[in-house]
A and B are shown apart, each in its own frame.
Chain A
Amino acid sequence: MAVMLQSGGMASVSATFPDLSNKLSINYVPVIRSDASPVSGWIRGTRKAGKITAKAVAAPAENAASAASKTGHELLLFEALREGLMEEMERDPRVCVMGEDVGHYGGSYKVTKDLAEKFGDLRVLDTPIAENSFTGMAVGAAMTGLRPVVEGMNMGFLLLAFNQISDNCGMLHYTSGGQFTIPTVIRGPGGVGRQLGAEHSQRLESYFQSIPGIQMVACSTPYNAKGLMKAAIRSENPVVLFEHVLLYNLKERIPDEEYVLSLEEAELVRPGEHVTILTYSRMRYHVMQAAKTLVNIGYDPEVIDIRSLKPFDLYTIGNSVKKTHRVLIVEECMRTGGIGASLTAAINENFHDYLDAPIVCLSSQDVPTPYAGTLEEWTVVQPPQIVTAVEQLCQ
């Protein structure tokens, strides 16, 4: 089932309910043009056979007057994550949480606040500071059928667990010939914060992206945070959910009814005609800020929050490239080996014919994030740089 939901100001996003059991063979879905007439061509897609989201691309935001402005409830991003987590824990007794300070302390970013009182110390497990082994423990528990959610207090600490994530989480399904599934969720805040220093400002999505067998998603709003959290927990694959330290206090109104988002879909933030700007996580807000300026000077950027970092939603991205013919990638990863680098390669390979200009990728500098505020600001992409890049791209 696909349900269209609106949340004030954003374009329609299709939400899908999670009973995926009968729909998951690689299926060919008919492609529908924007005038809703089917074509003879077929495209292999991740879409489910049946309901097609006819307006998945370039649908102008229908006015929020109709739907959810007054219904729903307002909350902050970390509360949205908690709500998603709590709902899943209530729904399925196999879901458990493990991490440092998640239990009695309530989580260092309050994502697991009060969960230990509700579900008990075994289900919301306070671990010692031993990332390698508690991530391994989560994988071992997942092999028997439990669905652990591992919290890295900061994503950077999970580097200590790299072997467990890469070999055991990612590869066990393959090396066991399909016998074991590892339905873990590994989540935590990453990204550059406010002067947290080099070791606490890491962007692990660039290190993890090569690991076969895992899925990676990045949330950026309370709405998609809750939806992605729920989807990640329900997924049979190991999912790494990247949150951002600076986004936890974002406020938004989200629907009251239950919803689950698709892990592999990108989100159209702002439709446009001139250039496609691909971004995720915190950079989405820098891009939207730049978009305001761009609109004032006469450009019409299309902004897509890619959300799914592995695999890329090439369907949405491709349709956008086909329309605008110019691509700008704005990311927080470092230049070398980041998500932007892979995305550039993927778009170049797949949609080369549609490009009118080389892809421009704005990333953070290839340096350890400095402590000094001014230096830190220069490490990360800022809105004026985005504006300049669009101007140059659209010449």
Chain B
Amino acid sequence: MAHLTKCRGATTLLKRSIPTALFSTRHLATDSTNPITVETSVPFIPHNIDPPSRSVETTPQELLEFFRDMAVMRRMEITADSLYKAKLIRGFCHLYDGQEAFAVGMEAATTRKDAIITAYRDHCLYLARGGTLFEAFAELMGRKDGCSKGKGGSMHFYNKPERFYGGHGIVGAQVPLGCGLAFAQKYSKEENVTFVLYGDGAANQGQLFEALNMAALWNLPAILVCENNQYGMGTAGWRAAKSATYYKRGDYVPGLKVDGMDALAVKQACKFAKDHALKNGPIILEMDTYRYHGHSMSDPGSTYRTRDEISGIRQERDPIERIRKVILSHDLATEKELKDTEKEARKEVDEAVAKAKESPWPDPSELFTNVYVKDLGLEVFGVDRKEVRTVLP
């Protein structure tokens, strides 16, 4: 099956050779906002709701931004892979490559006042939400310039000003937190929504249903997004769930199944969900997506799935390739320009890594800071019991 985004009026998807002289003054980051309509190749599958239209409005600028952002994200994850193998990143490292379409699509449909919370596969979402590559790599390598001062690690990226609430290691624990964010939005009467992301593995957690019940009960503006990458750690979805139709699991809460590797479909669904949540309370989105890497860097990713499957998806559904085809077929850029964009992305990532490598380790005193707010003069007992903590006269 070829999941290719078609575009209206195109007779061929073959690259056209265009004399470069005609376009020598055109910049890739074009500010052309001429609307383009693209139709998603896979329909939305609804549950208890009318699905949104398959025609997505977009602009050349947006498409090129999608391409660029996804290229940077892809590069970042691949670089993180090699840094991990070089033992500069330790512990757990969960990579997002293959799923980038969701991050850029959701960003396009939301404002920075909407809140986002996710689990541990958070590098690209952090980036989408205004994080810098330098801070991301510094955090991954445990340096003090990292976004959490090196004290959080791969699973704890946060960005409070941009309302990115992280970054959580325990599967499913972020879902009640996300409903709390939505509760606070309702309490403060803000007209914003919260995107609560979780995976197909977390979809079997009880606290998710508890939180969903409460969100529906109080009409909280929460959008629960199940990023179904088909595998919960090492177990395929159908082996872990009796009913693997995650978008229907809300029962009384409406749901929508979306092709999660199509950035435009994601954007449409998120916009639709945002409108719905502001009026009618929670909605579940299931993003049908895929991760090329294993669950984490300690998982080769090939013991529970075949390499053919991985390369097949990469060939047919890769999110960056799909946007590339849309851009080329609409003639918004040439192949060379897109390749240059990818090269720039690579350069940007490499520079950030080099800079992060020079960032210093956290000061030992940082061990005891941020345990309590303003550290209240509280004594945190160190491992070295020889240190006297109280001296009496």
A132/B390 in contact, CB under 8 A:
no
Size category, A interface: 35 or more
Rounded to whole Å, the gap between the CB of A116 and the closest CB of chain B is 14
**Given A128-B210, A133-B211, A164-B173; A144-B184 close (CB under 8 Å):** yes
B184/A237 in contact, CB under 8 A:
no
Interface residues of B in 350-393 (CB under 8 A from A): 369-380, 385, 388-393
**Given A140-B117, A144-B115; A176-B377 close (CB under 8 Å):** no
Against A, the Cβ 8 Å flags (1 = close, 0 = not) of B212-235 are: 011001100000000000000000
Q: Which of the segments B10-18, B151-159, B272-280 contacts the partner chain?
A: B151-159
Counted as pairs of residues, one from A and one from B, with CB atoms less than 8 Å apart, the total is: 193
Q: Which of the segments A79-87, A166-174, A326-334, A381-389 contacts the partner chain?
A: A166-174
Interface status of A180 (Cβ within 8 A of chain B): yes
What are 30 sample pairs from A and B whose C-beta atoms fall under 8 A apart?
A: A20-B376, A24-B374, A25-B374, A33-B393, A44-B377, A44-B379, A44-B389, A45-B377, A122-B186, A128-B210, A133-B211, A136-B177, A136-B179, A139-B176, A139-B180, A140-B176, A140-B183, A141-B183, A141-B184, A143-B165, A163-B173, A172-B166, A173-B370, A174-B371, A175-B153, A179-B159, A180-B158, A213-B372, A236-B373, A311-B379
> In the bound complex, how far is the Cα of B390 from the Cα of A349, in angstroms?
10
Rounded to whole Å, the gap between the CB of B222 and the closest CB of chain A is 10
A174/B151 in contact, CB under 8 A:
yes
Interface status of A130 (Cβ within 8 A of chain B): yes
> In the bound complex, how far is the Cα of B369 from the Cα of A179, in angstroms?
12
B207/A173 in contact, CB under 8 A:
no
Interface status of A197 (Cβ within 8 A of chain B): no
A122/B373 in contact, CB under 8 A:
no
Cβ contact of B158, chosen from A135, A144, A145, A176, cutoff 8 A: A176
Against B, the Cβ 8 Å flags (1 = close, 0 = not) of A91-112 are: 0000010000000000000000
Interface status of A178 (Cβ within 8 A of chain B): yes
**Given A43-B392, A144-B181, A236-B374; A132-B156 close (CB under 8 Å):** no
**Given A46-B376, A177-B149; A140-B165 close (CB under 8 Å):** yes
Interface residues of A in 179-193 (CB under 8 A from B): 179-181
Interface of A is mostly: mixed
Against B, the Cβ 8 Å flags (1 = close, 0 = not) of A40-57 are: 011111100000000000
**Given A164-B173, A167-B169; A173-B371 close (CB under 8 Å):** yes
Instruction: List residues of B whose CB falls within 8 A of some A CB.
Output: 115, 117, 146-153, 156, 158-160, 165-170, 173, 175-181, 183-188, 206-207, 210-211, 213-214, 217-218, 369-380, 385, 388-393
> In the bound complex, how far is the Cα of B385 from the Cα of A45, in angstroms?
18
Interface status of A304 (Cβ within 8 A of chain B): no
> In the bound complex, how far is the Cα of B379 from the Cα of A215, in angstroms?
12
Cβ contact of A43, chosen from B210, B373, B391, cutoff 8 A: B391
B378/A311 in contact, CB under 8 A:
yes
A179/B160 in contact, CB under 8 A:
yes
Report the nearest B residue to A137, measured CB to CB.
B180
A138/B180 in contact, CB under 8 A:
yes
Q: Which of B147, B153, B206, B390 has the most CB of A within 10 A?
A: B390
Q: Which of the segments A1-9, A312-320, A366-374 contacts the partner chain?
A: A312-320
Report the nearest B residue to A42, measured CB to CB.
B391
Q: Which of B166, B210, B377 has the most CB of A within 10 A?
A: B377
